[in-house]
Structures are given as C-alpha cells and as structure tokens.
Amino acid sequence: MAIDKFPVEGSHIMMFARSVGDDNQIYHDDEYAKGTEPGSVIAPPTFAQSSAQFDPDYFLRPKTGQDWFGSGKEPTGVKKSSSGGGGGGGGGLHAEQHYEYHRHIKPGDVLTGTTKPGKTWEKEGKRSGKLVFTESVTEYRDQNGELAITATGVGVRTERPVDSK
Amino acid sequence: MALNASELKVGDTYTERLVEDLKRTQIVQYAGASGDYNPLHTDEVFTTQVAGYPSVFAHGMLTMGMTGRMLTNHVGDGRLSKFGVRFTSQVWPGDTLDSTATVEGLREEGGEHFVDLSVETVNQDGVKVLTGYAAAKVDG
C-alpha cells in the first residue's frame, strides 16, 4: 500500500471525531483551538486510519464498475469462490494497532504513507482455529518529508468465524 | 488540561464511559469517516448469511478511536507520544464500553517528562475488548 497524497482537512477531522463520539472543540472549532496548547485544530489520535480514503486501491471500499462482496439482491455480490469460510469476507480481522506520534497532524498537512511488510507469525486459536498474523508498518511523512506518524498494524486471518462466546 | 508529573503516581487510574448501547448507525458513521466499508461492520445480511457471524460488529479501530478519546481527555490535547492496542474481543451493537488508563510509570527523557499508561476497555460483562498502552508528555 502506498498513499501518495493524504490531504488532512478540517471537515474530515470533524467527521472522524464525530464518528468516535468525540465532541472536543479542538477537532472542529478554529477559534477555540487557537487558544489551546497545540494552537490549532489537530487530528484525533487514530485519524491516520482514515488514510484509507486516499488509497486508490483500498480493497474495503466499493469501486465503480467492480464487484462488491457486500449484499444487494443476494447476500454477497461476489460469486462463491474458494476463499473459504471464516474470518471473513473482508480479508481478515484487525488484531493490533500501534501509533508513534512524532508530531500531531493538522488541517493543511499533506501526508504521504509508505507501507512495508513486517513480521508474520501463526498461532492456534481456541475460538477460531489456526490464526495467521501479518504485520505492516506505515510511515506517514508530511509535506516537508518529516516523519509525523509511524503506524504498525497487525492483521489476522482465521480458519473460521470467531466464536462470539 | 495537561497532567503534571508531580501529581501522578503509579497505580492512579482514570476511567471514562466510551459508549452506552452502541448503535449500528455509529458503526456506519465510523465506516464513512474512516473509509473502511467492510460489510462485516454495516451489512447484516452479508455478515450473518455469508461470513457466519451473529450480527455486524464494530471496527476494532472504532473501539480504539473511542479509547483514544478517553486518553486525550485525560492527558490533554496533543500530548500523546505513543498509543498501541490489541483487540481482544469483538464489540457488538448494543455493547456498553468503559475504558481505564492506569499509570504504570513516570520518566524523564531529554528534559521532558512522560507518563506511561496501560489501557483497558471492557464491555458490560466485564470482558476485555481492548488492551494496550500509551505514553504522553506531562508537565514537569
């Protein structure tokens, strides 16, 4: 995954903050934010996740003219393939997420994201069969090439859906 | 408001309710804002009939995002230097989540003071749905 251009915008920050139930004025009110320590609107700690919006190939966004695996007339828009049962549907589940903040991003920043694969490991899970974990490390740099955020994600694929009990 | 190192000690806790009776609509809101449109989170038909789960469930990152709100309310805006979590159990519509940060240590680095926190978010049954850590700059 590579993100060539992730423009950090005020309205996107506002919508993201709303979606996590955060009505802190620092995420939407310029006047208020001027009087705070950061001195401007900043993005909430997990905002970098929404870089997916700017990844042209992001596979969990429906794209014009392409099949989408969510339901329409049928429970899934994709013909049954050999993708197997569980875990599913969406290329696995999110197991871990780690952020290191080198500085706090704000509207007007234009980030790039470069992702490198990390470690891979396996584990036998009681609730879901064999688990395969895959790590990826994304460096978000700002318009000056300075490192702003290092994000390490760990995904897991399961043999079958995770038992909820 | 930022924390002050002199007023913190190991074992101090801060708890906040993240959400009461999580609504499917909030999960949809998160999908829209984050750009993660995985139908497992918003499409009950797909999730129950194709993926085999009892219902849609929240993005792990929604739980992490709400947990981040607890942290920034506690340590102040723009103070976090690290935040990392493991998603230990799924979060379902209707869940009520509470999140706690516990002071694990205080340190000084390059003339700046930091607090190290452990982080835990639990559901209404006391099941941990997220465990992790955070570090934040505090006043000296």
pLDDT band for position A32 (cuts 50, 70, 90): very high
Type of residue found at B68: G
Domain count, chain A: 1
Quote the minimal CA–CA distance from A134 to chain B in Å: 13
Q: Which CATH superfamily is domain B5-22+59-138 in?
A: Hotdog Thioesterase (3.10.129.10)
Q: What is the dihedral of CA B65, B18, A26, A97, to 10 degrees?
A: -20
Residues of chain B with Cβ-Cβ distance to A105 below 8 Å are: none
Domain range enclosing A149: 2-8+48-62+83-158
For the record, the structure tokens of A29 come out as 């009110």
Sequential DSSP letters for A139-156: EEE-TTS-EEEEEEEEEE
The pLDDT assigned to A110 comes to 98
Q: Is A124 part of a structural domain of the chain?
A: yes
Residues of chain B with Cβ-Cβ distance to A44 below 8 Å are: 65, 68-69, 72
Residue to test with chain A: of B24, B27, B41, B46, most A Cβ within 10 A: B46
The pLDDT assigned to A93 comes to 86
The C-alpha R_g of chain A, in whole angstroms, comes to 19
Whether pLDDT at A148 is above 80: yes
Whether pLDDT at A85 is above 80: no
Q: Across the 140 residues of chain B, what is the mean pLDDT of every consecutive 10-residue run?
A: 90 98 98 97 97 96 98 98 97 98 97 97 98 97
* Candidate from A29-33, A96-100, A160-164, B51-55 with smallest mean pLDDT: A160-164
The pLDDT assigned to A91 comes to 56
Is B44 strand, coil or helix? helix
Residues of chain B with Cβ-Cβ distance to A71 below 8 Å are: 39, 43, 45-46, 49-50
Of A162 and B61, the structure prediction assigns the larger pLDDT to B61
The pLDDT assigned to B104 comes to 98
The pLDDT assigned to A164 comes to 58
Q: Give residue limits of the domains in chain B.
A: 5-22+59-138
Task: Say which residue the tokens 């002071």 belong to.
Answer: B103
The pLDDT assigned to A112 comes to 97
Q: Is A147 part of a structural domain of the chain?
A: yes
Residue from the list A19, A86, A101 with its beta carbon closest to the beta carbon of B30? A19
The average confidence (pLDDT) of chain A is 90
Whether pLDDT at A89 is above 60: no
The pLDDT assigned to B128 comes to 98
Whether pLDDT at A36 is above 50: yes
Given CB atoms, is B38 within the 8 Å cutoff of chain A? Answer: yes
Q: Is A165 part of a structural domain of the chain?
A: no
Domain at A96, CATH number: 3.10.129.10
Q: What is the mean pLDDT of residues A50-76?
A: 95
Axis-axis angle for helices A10-19, B24-34 (nearest 10): 150
Q: Is A36 part of a structural domain of the chain?
A: no
The pLDDT assigned to A1 comes to 66
Q: If you count residue pairs, one on A and one on B, with CB atoms under 8 Å apart, how many are there?
A: 168
Residues 6+ apart with CB under 8 A from A159: A84, A85, A86, A87, A128, A129, A130, A131
Q: Is A102 part of a structural domain of the chain?
A: yes
Whether pLDDT at A2 is above 90: no
pLDDT band for position A87 (cuts 50, 70, 90): very low
Instruction: For this complex, say whether ipTM is above 0.90.
Output: yes
pLDDT band for position A162 (cuts 50, 70, 90): confident
Q: What is the mean pLDDT of residues A85-101?
A: 74
Q: Is A129 part of a structural domain of the chain?
A: yes
